[in-house]
Structure 1
């Protein structure tokens, strides 16, 4: 029987909730991982609270204090970590043994280290990809999923953002993105950038990383360039972000390691998360991860609650996205 997908809830401007107060980490450290990596992690909120793990985006991004503020610190025990090569994890910008499956092993290693049986998994953009892959692989360890800006890491999504699609909405930003790449190589922008971001000369890496990061920053929010994360202007961050992100995209998230070419792996395995309570929040005008992917996920996972924010793009800090995510984490607390 064909599944019937109910219409999504719609979030429009009005009275909206904001972020929770800032909270300091009560524990932090580095966790040894396979392949010579050391994973930086921290815990925030209530030490005896309900456990959750917060996954940052990218791949190649890093945790930041704002990520803690989607959860009530008086109720939740929040775990955050910088993924391999990212943020304060060591070695920085490393591509060695850096795959989706290695990151899933790191999440499990952190869960065991913290003595957590099951937890809520929270992630947006690439964080949603990783959260879904983790939940499919370890459904018994996931109590609930709160996801934003769904990214299934398919060829179609990558072509939209890095080849032909978003470029039509942002021709000025696209021109800047193309600038470091000779015209003869522009038929495959991910491959062209991958060659430069893995080049032995750091100056070549830096030029490519700056352009790669700016393209994402220019398109991330309907509020315009002022919403661009300031870290994109820091060359060390930009190099790590661009190198790791392009590494994952050039390899289609390494989903092919589980059989086939890897394209569409998450949707093919969505049945495994059907019993996990879930919340999906999607900006209607998200250009980085367009709503089609969220709609396909909801169709495959009709039990999930699906909310579309009509006046939002991709950024997690847009007011409507904040409101929807804060309400979702409150509801997830009662699961």
Structure 2
């Protein structure tokens, strides 16, 4: 039974499933090979999709946010996750490696400029990429904004979100000795990189469970057990990035450089009840981004699969497809 009677499922707003017309493993150097796929119309508006995490990987459902007649949809698994290899590898795996990979993919596919579509960590990466390469990004579609600041990490791993989800927080913290609970990211880092595969997997599943439990406004707090391979890549990569503060030169890097993308149009789609990435970050970004527009979805949390989030993202991209000349793509 639906928890919100009368509310459509997200799939009702998406395009039908499609298969890629191109799949390849791109050698990006440093021992990494990145999975890249293309679907839709080879002559359509190019859009690159940046998945969350870090370490989440892309999924077939991500193709369905775009009209396959109007868009050339590029998905890829970031270093160390999904179908990219080596799996769960953190060496030569930083934000700046990923930014370089995005540009390498664009050049390899012969694309001059493209739309950039990303949510959560994907929104973080989209913003950092656009600030580094404003000439390549024609439009930004962002969901569930994460600015990779200490304030946001403190919210999610320092007890802020725990005020709303105390049972789940209790399960997350209970695996760690009380003396270490003042820094949960560091405490989990020690276990996720312990060298003991069983310990790493146990803590990876707990790390993923804490995040998954809070992802949707409809969540009952019991996300189920995450498959071991996925959890290990997701947790290790995410923790690796968070321990290293996103590999950014200063706290607040994105907002301090937002003037570099002031001319790039885009839309932020943000759930009002996002427990993982609360709306303050989206609000702060919108206030500093001259060409950006913020849309708050009233009855939604963080997940891409929230019906209101999916509906708005599809609507945004339909407008981009109809007006490609406006964006020079």
Same fold (TM over 0.5): yes
Cα distance in 2 between the residues matched to 1:105 and 1:86? 17
1:221·1:227 contact (CA, 8 Å) conserved in 2?
A: no
Instruction: Determine if contact 2:263/2:290 at 8 Å carries over to the other structure.
Output: no
Q: Partners of 2:161 and 2:147 in 1: how far apart? A: 17
Q: Is the 8 A contact 1:26 1:45 kept in 2?
A: yes
1:251 and 2:244 are equivalent in the alignment: yes
Give the conservation status (yes or no) of the 8 Å contact 1:217–1:225: no
Counterpart in the other structure of 2:233: 240
Matches within 5 A, 1:175-254: 175-225=170-220, 228=223, 233-254=226-247
Q: Return the offset for 1:302.
A: 3.5
Q: Which residue of 1 aligns with 2:276?
A: 288
| Closer/same/farther in 2, CA of residues 233 and 183 from structure 1, 3 Å limit | same
What SS is found at the alignment partner of 1:140?
Answer: coil
RMSD: 1.6
Map 1:308-323 onto structure 2 (within 5 A). Answer: 308-323=296-311
CA contact under 8 A between 2:8 and 2:307: conserved in structure 1?
no
Deviation digits for residues 44-84 of structure 1 (CA, Å, limit 9, x no counterpart): 11111110100000001011011111111111001000000
Aligned counterparts of 1:169 and 1:302: Cα–Cα separation in 2: 34
The separation in 2 between residues aligned to 1:77 and 1:314, in whole angstroms, is 26
Q: Within 1, Cα distance between the matches of 2:195 and 2:159?
A: 29
Q: TM-score, normalised by structure 2?
A: 0.93
Which of the residues 45, 49, 56 maps onto 1:50?
45
Q: Is the 8 A contact 1:278 1:303 kept in 2?
A: yes
- Give structure 2 stretches of 5+ with no counterpart: 1-6
CA distance in 2, matches of 1:133, 1:191: 25
Alignment of 1:153-192 (within 5 A): 153-192=148-187
Secondary structure in 2 matching 1:314:
coil
- Post-superposition Cα deviations, 1:214-243, rounded to whole Å, max 9, x if no partner, equal 000100001114895x7x610010000000
TM-score (norm 1): 0.92
Tell me what 1:98 maps to: 93
Aligned residues: 316
- How many Å apart are 1:331 and its aligned residue? 1.6
1:15, CA displacement in angstroms? 12
Question: Structure 1 residue 162: deviation in Å?
Answer: 0.5
CA shift at 1:303, angstroms?
2.4
2:124 is aligned to 129
Runs of 4+ in 1 over 4 A off after TM superposition: 13-17, 225-228
Aligned residue number for residue 28 of structure 1: 23
Q: Mind listing any 5+ residue stretches in structure 1 that lack a counterpart? A: 1-12, 257-261
